Structure 1
Amino acid sequence: MKLKSSICISAALVSLALYALLRSDGKHKVRAKSVLDFLRTSPKQLYKLDAGWPRNPEYITGVPYDVAVDHVNSLVYIAQRGENVSKVLVFTEEGYFKSAWKTKTIDMPHGIFAEIEEEQLKSIWLTDVGQGSSGHTVKQYSPSGELLKTLGTPGLAGSCLSPLQFDQPADIFIKGEDEIYIVDGDGGLNNRLLKLTDEFSVQWKMGDNGTKAGQFYIPHSVSVDDVGRVWVADRGNKRIQVFDTITGEWMGSWDSCFLEDGPYSVRFTSDKKYLVVVQLNLSRLLLLAVPAIGEIGDCNVVNTIQMADGVRPHLVDVSAKTGSIYVAELGAEQVQKYVPLEKQS
């Protein structure tokens, strides 16, 4: 009886705390609604919300657009926008604030990616969609925020491949030592997928503006699996398209899962069983079954994480070590962490 009473008292205290937050304004209200919605979900969920992450939310003073996980050092890099804010923040995977970049070389960050090679963090890559003197570029930084390399012509939108130009590049994914994939762009002139060599020359290009196979309308996120397939969130066309990593050949597409809203982000879970897909306007995450080698078929929704209205999740990343999913949210102006209920490999 004492145990049952303690549980009831704890639940009541949680409810009172959430009620108090719901009566407040701003992102605290949205966060409380997100927690309440999650508590109402089915017990068959594959992930649970870590409602206390981050431990130092006051350091997120802008609008988070993307996250990148350095699982080697258990760090989370957050790309945010806003006036007079650091464009990149660093937290530990436990949720504690670590540092803020002081670089002035970023206009408007969109995608961010942690390049890990031989179990060491090599660099942090960032796509910049700004219209200022640093925009329309893809940039490589040291883990502390020192600019190492700039791809594209800063401040100048274009479509040229040599020299390389971008127009609001949306996302980057690096596989191994010599496979660099970029989707360009988040609106603007270009609707294309590029594969670059380790010397940053174009190995192949796929796509232009359109609805046919291999064409794009706002390619927004890119990810690569372990069996030679490139997955692109073709946001405006409400589909995911799949390409061969070697040739760039179109392999298939998924569209039946995206009748209401297009996919914004694609990342694989740490066990490679599922593709994590964001639908911003529906404020939800989908976990889609990854097809076997040689198959594409159509999408199969295995699990759904429904957030509160107005959260507006944008881009995500997954920790290869813990399996946790980190979500950058435009409406709630926060990053949330979902941890797997069962240990992943």
Structure 2
Amino acid sequence: MARFWVCLAGAGFFLGFLVLHSRLCGSPVLRKFAFQISWRTKEIPYRLDVDWPKHSEYFTGATFCVAIDSLSGLVYIAQRGDNIPKVLVFTEDGYFLRSWNYTVDTPHGIFAASTLHEQSVWITDVGSGSYGHTIKKYNSFGDLVQVLGTPGKKGTSLNPLQFDNPAELYVDDTGDIYIVDGDGGLNNRLIKLSQDFMMLWLHGERGTGPAKFNIPHSVTLDSSGRVWVADRGNKRIQVFDKDTGEWLGAWDNCFTEEGPSSVRFTPDGKYVIVAQLNLSRLLLAAAPPVGSIGNCSVISTIQLADQVLPHLLDVSGKTGAIYVAEIGAKQVQKYVPMNSYFPSFGS
């Protein structure tokens, strides 16, 4: 019996050492093993903030997308419906500030890009009206600043630029713009534009091979200079070099049931957060080290109620909170990281 307890204590010490070493030293092999321990013990890394927002009655349509301006602490939500405000603005604490409805037809994706000198909100519009098939830039009060694309005309042209159901975009710190154009329709492409809207590189063909797409639905960047695209119809995430456009690899092993609809990173860059629309599920996966994409390794899942349908999500750069736009539930929900799991940015 004594030998049994000695062995058991030794095994516990060894596992504890692996977890501690992986967190402190960053060994990818040990880190993966530690993540599997966390997943198997069913640790929950986030909790639902049931008090966000303070007044949910402002959600009056199908909430398709959400964007966090961490610099100003604002949350922008775009919703669809007739005779309703298309854009709602809340604080990260959940207080409603204002709404606007100017020149927005049918919003699909939204992105907030702010500097110390400018606050801007970008919206992809997939409507068929005079404002449709465009990507529009607004200031924080809803004044239209810039229009990309040919208003009211879908197409494949790059000069002049045309879109057909542009799904989402991401603006990096230099002002360069990454666009996934292809929530159905004519195009299945990833476009990189400079801050003055010059074409820098393009992947633009429908297919299943590397750098080809079937409904590219969401795009984001990591801190290592890699572009991540939720290739929803192909049930995978594809990764590219942001400077050259070179294809770096793909994740498909996590998405056998359904493809990803949204992809974002936690502020520390250690985790990838993925939404799966029809499964009403969020995945938390380990971000790969620099120089290797590897395979997707799921650390934890957040199972939402049936028919919630998480469409697109965003993450606060300050708190690490996840905001999920749910088109089935017609709401946005906030998930707050647990201090015990994310000591660096938990709240």
CA contact (8 A) 1:311 1:330 kept: yes
Question: Within 5 Å, which residues of 2 pair with 1:4-43?
Answer: none
Q: Which position in structure 2 is the counterpart of 1:51?
A: 50
* Alignment-mate amino acid for residue 167 of structure 1: D
Question: Within 5 Å, which residues of 2 pair with 1:160-179?
Answer: 160-179=157-176
Q: Which position in structure 2 is the counterpart of 1:3?
A: none
Q: Which position in structure 2 is the counterpart of 1:112?
A: 110
CA change 1:326–1:121 in 2 (3 A) is farther
Q: Which position in structure 2 is the counterpart of 1:245?
A: 242
Matched, 1:98 2:97: yes
Question: Within 5 Å, which residues of 2 pair with 1:1-345?
Answer: 44-103=43-102, 105-118=103-116, 122-342=119-339, 343-345=343-345
What is the deviation of 1:163? 1.1
Provide the C-alpha distance between the structure 1 equivalents of 2:64 and 2:278, rounded to a whole number of angstroms. Answer: 15
Superposed CA offset, 1:285-330 (max 9, x none): 0011100000101101011111111111100000001110000001
Provide the C-alpha distance between the structure 2 equivalents of 1:255 and 1:234, rounded to a whole number of angstroms. Answer: 10
What is the deviation of 1:274? 0.7
What is the deviation of 1:167? 0.5
Provide the C-alpha distance between the structure 1 equivalents of 2:106 and 2:215, rounded to a whole number of angstroms. Answer: 17
Q: Which position in structure 1 is the counterpart of 2:32?
A: none
TM (norm. structure 2) is 0.85
What is the deviation of 1:332? 0.6
Provide the C-alpha distance between the structure 2 equivalents of 1:207 and 1:216, rounded to a whole number of angstroms. Answer: 8
- RMSD (Å), alpha carbons: 1.1
What is the deviation of 1:43? 6.3
What is the deviation of 1:121? 5.1
DSSP 3-state at the match of 2:268: coil
Unaligned stretches of 5+ residues in structure 1: 1-41
Provide the C-alpha distance between the structure 2 equivalents of 1:89 and 1:178, rounded to a whole number of angstroms. Answer: 24
What is the deviation of 1:201? 1.4
DSSP 3-state at the match of 1:236: helix
* Alignment-mate amino acid for residue 280 of structure 2: S
Superposed CA offset, 1:232-271 (max 9, x none): 0000000000011111111000001000010000111111
Superposed CA offset, 1:201-257 (max 9, x none): 111101311111110000000001111100000000000000111111110000010
Superposed CA offset, 1:122-171 (max 9, x none): 20001001111100001100000000000000000011111111001000
CA contact (8 A) 2:71 2:115 kept: no
- Percent identity, aligned pairs only, is 60
Provide the C-alpha distance between the structure 2 equivalents of 1:44 and 1:240, rounded to a whole number of angstroms. Answer: 25
Provide the C-alpha distance between the structure 1 equivalents of 2:99 and 2:241, rounded to a whole number of angstroms. Answer: 38
DSSP 3-state at the match of 2:233: coil
Superposed CA offset, 1:9-46 (max 9, x none): xxxxxxxxxxxxxxxxxxxxxxxxxxxxxxxxx86111
CA contact (8 A) 1:70 1:121 kept: no
Q: Which position in structure 2 is the counterpart of 1:30?
A: none
Aligned residues: 302
User: Considering only CA atoms, is the larger Rg found in Structure 1 or Structure 2?
Assistant: 2
Unaligned stretches of 5+ residues in structure 2: 1-40
CA contact (8 A) 1:323 1:344 kept: no
Superposed CA offset, 1:99-133 (max 9, x none): 00141x11100000000235x65200010011111
TM (norm. structure 1) is 0.86
CA contact (8 A) 1:72 1:121 kept: no
What is the deviation of 1:176? 1.1
Provide the C-alpha distance between the structure 2 equivalents of 1:113 and 1:131, rounded to a whole number of angstroms. Answer: 21
